Chains A and B, each alone.
Chain A
Amino acid sequence: MSFLAQAVRQVLRQVPNRSLSLAGAMRSLSISPAVGQQNKLATESVDISAIAKDQQKECQSICERINRQVQKSEQGRLFAVVHLCGKQFKITPGDVILVEGYWPPTIGDEISLDKVLLAGARDFTLVGRPILEPGLVSVKATVVEKTLSHTKTHFRKKRRKQYMRINFQRSPHTMVRINSIELARPVDGEAPPSEPSKRLF
Chain B
Amino acid sequence: MSNSHLFLKSGFPRAPLQNGLGRYVCQLQRITLKFCKNNGSSRGMRDFIENHLVDFAKENPGIVVYVKPRRHRTPVLVGEYLNGEREWMSCRNSTQEEISKWIDLLKTQNGSSSSLRLRKMWHTDVPSIQGPWTPFLLRSPDAQGQVYPSEDASKPLETPQTATEKLIELFRQQQLEGGNEAHEVLNKKRAE
Within 8 A of A (CB), among B104-120: 105, 107-110, 113-118
> Is A14 located at the chain interface by the 8 A CB criterion?
no
CB of B129 within 8 A of CB of A77, answer yes
Provide the residues of chain B in CB contact with A157, threshold 8 Å.
1
> Is A51 located at the chain interface by the 8 A CB criterion?
no
CB of A166 within 8 A of CB of B1, answer yes
> Is B149 located at the chain interface by the 8 A CB criterion?
no
Interface flags for A6-36 (1: CB within 8 Å of B; 0: not) read 0000000000000000000001000001001
Interface flags for A134-169 (1: CB within 8 Å of B; 0: not) read 000000001111111111110101000000001000
Identify B118's interface contact among A36, A95, A98, A177, CB under 8 A.
A98
Identify A177's interface contact among B4, B21, B138, B158, CB under 8 A.
B21
A96, B126: Cα distance in complex, Å? 11
Instruction: Select the stretch in A53-61, A120-128, A186-194 that faces chain B.
Output: A120-128
Within 8 A of A (CB), among B40-66: none
A188, B158: Cα distance in complex, Å? 38
A107, B104: Cα distance in complex, Å? 11
- The total of Cβ contacts below 8 Å across the A-B interface reads 116
Provide the residues of chain B in CB contact with A97, threshold 8 Å.
13, 121-123
A54, B23: Cα distance in complex, Å? 49
Given contact pairs A98-B121, A125-B130, A147 touches B110 in the complex (Cβ within 8 A):
yes
Q: How close is A159's CB to chain B, nearest CB, in angstroms? A: 13
Which A residue sits closest to B5, measured CB to CB?
Answer: A153
Known: A177-B20, A179-B20, A179-B21. 19 other contacts (CB 8 A): A27-B138, A79-B126, A79-B129, A87-B121, A89-B122, A90-B122, A92-B126, A92-B129, A94-B124, A95-B123, A97-B13, A107-B26, A143-B20, A147-B109, A147-B110, A150-B117, A151-B4, A175-B13, A177-B19
